[in-house]
Amino acid sequence: MNLFKVLVPAILAGVLLSGCASVSSAEGPQAINDPLEPVNRVMFDTTLALDRAVLRPTALAYRTVFPAFMRDSLRNFLNNLGSPVILANDVLQGEGTRAGDTLIRAGVNTTLGLGGLVDVAKRWGYMRHSEDFGQTLAVYGVGEGPYLFVPLLGPGNPRDVLGWIVDLAFDPLTYAQWREKFLWQFGRAGVDLIDLRARNIETLDEIEKTSLDYYASVRSLYRQSRNNEIRNGATEVQDLPDF
Amino acid sequence: MSSYSRAMLPSWAAALIWPLVMLVAIIFSAPVAFAAAASPAETFVQQNIDKGYAILNASLSDDQRRAQFRTFMLGLTDTRRIGMFTLGQYANGASKADLDKFTDAFIDYAVAVYESRLSKYKGQTLKVTGSSERAADDIVVNADVVNPNSSNGQPFKVGFRVRKTSDGHPIITDMQVEGVWLALSQRSDFTGFLQQHGGSLAALTDNLHMQAQQIHASSGPGSQQAQK
């Protein structure tokens, strides 16, 4: 948490500096916008070293030990816990249909889906989507600010990190009190990270294998896929660069 | 219409039949409407990607498959134009000889990358879903990649940017997977490398050759097992 005591002022400053006037199209994926690159590269290398030593082997072991149905149930459960945050941001973005989908998914999966372990709603055609407050800020026209590589958390920018903190406030479990709360929240974040890493072993290996500058590739991939999420998957052809 | 049906049929039957007739008419007219809506760019993408999958799925030796895929890709994509694009500002002021060497290396690399990426989707089918026009000669064709063997997998979205050659033929200049464009990522990758290596185009060219060999080496016969 000390990390965030340092980060938050920097992030707020970044958001203010980037200004509300700069809309995402003006800072398309082609812009490098990485004034902290030397520091970011050190953070990237450190995280990569930690990933190679600890996270990737753990994720591999996790995938080997637990059968697919158990991993999928766990993923469903974690996804279901994230519903309130998604719902809050659907509503804040004025996405009525998507908010309805999230509400139905949470209701159906929490009850018929045995507390979220089974994604019954998906079989009924209610597909999952994700939302977070970083995306909501983007929809409101807040600029992303300079690229940041946050140790352990990965690629981001001030807008996303601020969003991440606000999303904690949208999570009902933040307010619930019970004895082993810290342990539980820590475990939830840890398992989430390991499962996510396990689902991306081949993809990340492939990106690293085909990259000449892995850091720059990850930066571009992150920006593009993040903008794709913000646009809810719609292709903005006019934002593409000229060839 | 209602007076005719009343004369010929009891009213309850008419009430049942006319909606049925309309329904049948709609069902049968729909495929015709869809077929008419496919633009030349959409047809071009669908036919060629099917061809590409046919090569990747055929029982050929590694060398044969690689050679066929290379010919296929060079006819389908404007690799020279993509190569120039990926250099960003570093293309300015480079000598023609250096650019030619880079282009050769880039083609090797791009063929290896596309082959390696597309083989991940072997056995899956690509269905063109529509297109959006950026300009008359600049069209993005959207498609879903569906895995017929997986009942719960969501299809993922891919896109192809289709431009025209100087003699008017359609040609692919970029490909996107879930919103991420390959040439844009490569430009970030290459300009990042150049920035770290004092802008040396020769170093980039050497590295691309090396990278292409490594990708080929790791996507040989063993790679099919690795996908399981």
> What confidence tens digit (pLDDT) does each residue in B69-84 have?
899 999 899 888 899 9
Q: Of residues B223 and B193, which shows the higher confidence score?
A: B193
**Whole-angstrom Cα Rg for chain A:** 19
Q: Which residues of B touch A30 (CB under 8 A)?
A: 184, 187
So what's the pLDDT on residue B151? 56
ipTM for the whole predicted complex goes beyond 0.85: no
pLDDT band of residue A242 (cuts 50, 70, 90) is confident
d(CA B184, CA B190): 10
Residue A123 contacts B, CB cutoff 8 Å: yes
Q: Which residues of A touch B117 (CB under 8 A)?
A: 206
Q: How high is the mean pLDDT of chain B?
A: 81
Least confident of A24-28, A74-78, A219-223: A24-28
Q: Do B180 and A30 touch (CB under 8 A)?
A: no
Least confident of A12-26, A170-184, B150-164: A12-26
**Whole-angstrom Cα Rg for chain B:** 24
Nearest to A30 among B82, B176, B184 (CB): B184
Between the alpha carbon of residue B186 and those of residues A211, A220, B86, B109, B110, the distances in Å are 8, 9, 6, 11, 10
At CB < 8 A and 24+ separation, what contacts does A96-100 make? A98/A129, A98/A131, A98/A232
pLDDT tens digits along B149-162: 665 567 888 899 99
Interface of A with B in 24-43 (CB under 8 A): 29-30, 32
Residue A219 contacts B, CB cutoff 8 Å: yes
Residue A221 contacts B, CB cutoff 8 Å: yes
pLDDT tens digits along B182-213: 999 999 999 999 999 999 999 999 999 999 99
Between the alpha carbon of residue A227 and those of residues A156, A230, A232, the distances in Å are 12, 5, 8
pLDDT tens digits along A89-103: 999 999 999 999 999
Q: Which residues of A touch B138 (CB under 8 A)?
A: 237
Q: Do A123 and B152 touch (CB under 8 A)?
A: yes
So what's the pLDDT on residue B145? 87
So what's the pLDDT on residue B26? 52
Summarize the confidence of residues B22-42 as an average pLDDT.
59
